[in-house]
Amino acid sequence: MLEFPVKTRTTQIRKHYYYYKLTHVATDCFSLLHRGCTDIVCCIFFIVAIVGYVAVGILAWTHGDPRKVIYPTDSMGQYCGQGKLEKKPLLFYFNMMKCASPMVLLEFQCPTPQVCVEKCPDRTMTLVTAVGKIESQDWGYYKSYCRADPGMKSVPQILQEKLCPAYLISSKPCKAFRCFPSLGKKGEVITVGDQETFNDGDKIRDAKDLVAGMKNATIVMEGRQVAMKIFEDYTKSWYWILICLLIAVVVSLIFIVLLRYLAGIMVWVMIVMVIAVFAYGIVHCSIKYVNLKDTPGANITLQQLGFQPDFSVYLHIRQTWLAFIIILAILEVIIIIVLIFLRNRIRIAVELMKEASRAVGYVMSSLFYPIFTFFLLTIVIAYWGVTAVFLSTSSEPVYKVFNETVCPHARETCIPENFTLSNMKRDCPRSECLFAFYGGETPYHKYLIFLQFYNVFLFFWCANFVTALGQMTLAGAFASYYWAPNKPNDMPAFPLCASLGRSLRYHTGSLAFGSLILAIIQIIRVLLEYIDHKLKGAENKFAKFLLCCLKCCFWCLEKFIKFMNRNAYIMVAIYGKNFCRSARDAFFLLMRNVIRVVVLDKVTDFILFLGKLLIVGLVAVCLKNLFAFFFLQTVLVGSYLIAHGFFSVYAMCVDTLFLCFCEDLERNDGSATRPYYMTAELLSNAESEQNTTCVIRRNSFRV
């Protein structure tokens, strides 16, 4: 039994505190007497990597041009809607049937001339018809879709030189700024321009022949309508969104305050509810089992029934319900036995949650620290996204030979300026030198894939660093609360700012080290997902099985590393040791208190999960049937993110106080020379705990 004279506790703690400070062995996290820079090599490596990341960004911004992914490009590589083509924002294909594959459109490699136009054609006609009416307005209208003025050339010459399309089809613009034929239906027959057929200059074709090149057009148009609907909802109700999100903030704060006073009641009520749910399941299955007693065919065994693809068949068998009864009864007994043996540890978990609420109350600014983390993550994501766009658009236009007949130079690189005088044109008279895609042959373009990989890797590293900085900052602030002999008088004036300064000044290297390990694992997972995507059509079952095992293993490894990093950052914030030593100390400390870790982790996670559901549910009930779907969806997602932000602070506080609590029990014994730093309530629960695995190791403590 732990003994400690409560009346003289404050005086003894203060004497002990000043004795510790004078002998330079204080364990409080805000003492900087022995704190120094940790993991300096990794810090230097991280700074160099950041400098290189900035250099990659500058290089990409110098060579890149985002217009390549925003605006369509004609056969000469000119941007529609830009420069001298400012009044021609739409791209028109001479022969849409040659663009059957959607990937052809996305890669700008459709083997047909493309021109920028002011508007899509709204009528259907052929070149022969238009030339026959050369004095009419039809010819002038038709010429607006030609690459150049054909003058007085004949139809064969125009088609051979591909100056004009062989036909025009009534079209409409899509979201991608391209002209697609206006397809419709008359009953079950596909039409174009209200006609079932069209003339392509050579023969009459069915409108359905255009479907292969148009199968995504409907999806694009529907997407545009959905996007417009979302935009309208947001522009009309943005202020309501802010009000609802503010309500979510208030409800989250209220929930955290209630945890301080009602944590015990909430935990035990939910435990009783879990037991009641299992009990109800047993009763329900028993009723089903009894009701099927006289039902024909219900008494056959599962072995006799065999495997059935329709699982509802098993619900008509008595043996199925008997199995449910046995399983639920075993789980019920296990839960009750576990609760009997772990009741004292559950009390400590509840008291730690109350203590966390008090700590958050003294460091209220911590609740809004996620905003700072979100701001930094936004910068990281924005920098990565902009750099990725510029890297993907930093190539040069590449022109290739396209020909409708057999040609030895097909798909070879060409130069459009002198193509008409080249050997390629002489060997293939009907070929064209058209813009194919963006690429390049310079060293920069050859190593572009490595720059893109570097961009992704640094994104993971920086994002993990920002998250780690937030965890260490919060841990340092809450640890300063725990190790303060007289709470809150002995706490720093601004614990959060002080902790942030310590983390950046002394432990940037440790933060970079932990986030680097996690980034390496995450980039491996990305590569595994890429390989899995490439092997989707493969028939090698062993390769698929091996890849599945690797993905599962690295997923588990990532979860474990995140857990260890989180606790390592707490130990770094408390004692100022390097990352590896802190991770080792945290691991063995947790292993010595493994039962408490499991109980605390599950109880806390369950409480906070229910809190998130409660907040989102309250918002959903209040807004039900009042606003549009997209408005409600945005508010619910925003409410969950707000609740997650607040509760992540609370969870970090619980984890920090738990490690401090275990360290306090192992390093101190409640005597006058080594008093406990925990509060009287937490001490009372620690004294009443029986058969604990977190014993006091007086002889193992070495200064």
Residue tagged 């260490």 (tokens): 472
Confidence class for position 100, pLDDT limits 50, 70, 90: low
Mean pLDDT of 558-587: 92
CA 692-695-701 angle, to 5 degrees, is: 165
Question: Structure pTM?
Answer: 0.68
Mean pLDDT of 84-111: 66
Q: Which residue has the higher pLDDT, 369 or 406?
A: 369
Query: Residue 372: pLDDT above 60?
Result: yes
C-alpha pair distances (Å), 199 with each of 5, 159, 202: 101, 15, 7
On whether the CB atoms of residues 324 and 281 are closer than 8 A, the answer is yes
Confidence class for position 464, pLDDT limits 50, 70, 90: very high
Domain end position, chosen among 149, 180, 202: 202
Range with top average pLDDT, 32-41, 120-129, 325-334? 325-334
Confidence class for position 254, pLDDT limits 50, 70, 90: confident
On whether the CB atoms of residues 503 and 475 are closer than 8 A, the answer is no
Within-domain flag for 358: no
Mean pLDDT of 305-309: 63
On whether the CB atoms of residues 358 and 260 are closer than 8 A, the answer is yes
Query: Residue 662: pLDDT above 70?
Result: yes
- pLDDT tens-digit readout, 586-610: 999 988 888 778 777 777 777 777 6
Q: Which residue has the higher pLDDT, 18 or 512?
A: 512
Mean pLDDT across the chain? 75
C-alpha pair distances (Å), 594 with each of 37, 395, 573: 31, 55, 22
Residue tagged 């810090």 (tokens): 43
DSSP class of 669: -
Mean pLDDT of 472-477: 92
Confidence class for position 564, pLDDT limits 50, 70, 90: very high
Structural domain harbouring 85: 71-202
Which residues, at least 6 apart from 204, have a Cβ–Cβ distance to it below 8 Å?
197, 198
Cα separation, 639 vs 244, whole angstroms: 8
Give the chain's domain count. 2
Q: Which residue has the higher pLDDT, 552 or 210?
A: 552
Nearest CA among 597, 640, 596, 656 for reference residue 471: 656
Within-domain flag for 574: no
Query: Residue 344: pLDDT above 80?
Result: no
* Rounded percentage of the chain residues whose pLDDT exceeds 90: 15
Within-domain flag for 405: yes
- pLDDT tens-digit readout, 231-242: 555 556 667 777
DSSP class of 230: H
Cα separation, 28 vs 34, whole angstroms: 11
Within-domain flag for 58: no
C-alpha pair distances (Å), 573 with each of 108, 359, 597, 703: 54, 16, 20, 18
Query: Residue 624: pLDDT above 60?
Result: no
Domain end position, chosen among 185, 202, 219: 202
Cα separation, 659 vs 656, whole angstroms: 5
On whether the CB atoms of residues 405 and 430 are closer than 8 A, the answer is yes
Domain end position, chosen among 419, 439, 459: 439
- pLDDT tens-digit readout, 217-232: 344 344 444 444 555 5
Within-domain flag for 77: yes
Maximum separation of any 2 CA atoms in the chain, in Å:
111
What per-residue confidence (pLDDT) applies to 462? Answer: 94
* Rounded percentage of the chain residues whose pLDDT exceeds 70: 74
- Residue 434 has, within 13 A of its CA and on its CB side, a CA count of 26
Range with top average pLDDT, 227-236, 415-424, 575-584? 575-584
- pLDDT tens-digit readout, 22-65: 333 334 444 444 678 888 999 999 999 999 999 998 988 887 77
What per-residue confidence (pLDDT) applies to 232? Answer: 56
DSSP 336-402: HHHHHHHHHHHHHHHHHHHHHHHHHHHTGGGGGHHHHHHHHHHHHHHHHHHHHHHHHT-SEEEEEEE
Mean pLDDT of 285-305: 78
Cis check: omega of the bond before 492, within 30 degrees of 0: no
Mean pLDDT of 574-578: 89
Within-domain flag for 622: no
Segment among 90-99, 235-244, 451-460 with least mean pLDDT: 235-244
C-alpha pair distances (Å), 216 with each of 91, 183, 267, 325, 369: 16, 12, 53, 52, 45
Dig out the tokens for 509 from the structure.
Answer: 């290297």
Within-domain flag for 114: yes
Phi first, then psi, for residue 125 (nearest 5°) are -160, 165
Query: Residue 10: pLDDT above 60?
Result: no
Within-domain flag for 424: yes
Give the 3-state secondary structure of residue 188: coil
